[in-house]
Amino acid sequence: MSKKLLIGTGMAFSLLLSPFGQAFAEGPTVGERKQVENVAHRGASGHAPENTVSGYDLAVDMKADYIEIDVQRSKDGELVLIHDTTVDRTTNGTGKVGDLTFEQFRSLRSLDAGSWKGEQFAGEQIPTFEEILDRYRGKIGIFIELKAPELYPGIEEQVAEALKERNLDKPQNEKILIQSFNFESMKKMNKLLPNVPIGVITSNRADTTMKALQEFSTYADWFNPHYGMVTDELVNQVHSLGMQIGSWTVRSQEVADFLFEMKVDAIVTDYPDYVDPGK
Q: Contact 275/243 with Cβ under 8 angstroms?
A: no
Q: Is 41 tagged catalytic?
A: yes
Residue 184: partners with Cβ closer than 8 Å, 6 or more residues away: none
| Annotation marks residue 226 as catalytic | no
List Cβ neighbours of 111 (8 Å cut-off, separation of 6 or more): 91, 92, 93
Helices and strands, counts by H and E, the chain: 10, 9
Q: Extract the runs of DSSP E, i.e. beta strands, from 181-243.
A: 198-202, 222-225
Nearest to 279 by CA among 8, 46, 116, 52: 46
b/e burial code for range 53-86 (CB count within 10 A of at least 16 → b)? bbbbbbbbebbbbbbbbbbbbbbeebbbbbbbeb
CA quadruple 136, 139, 140, 146: dihedral, nearest 10: 20
**Residues with a known catalytic role:** 41, 83
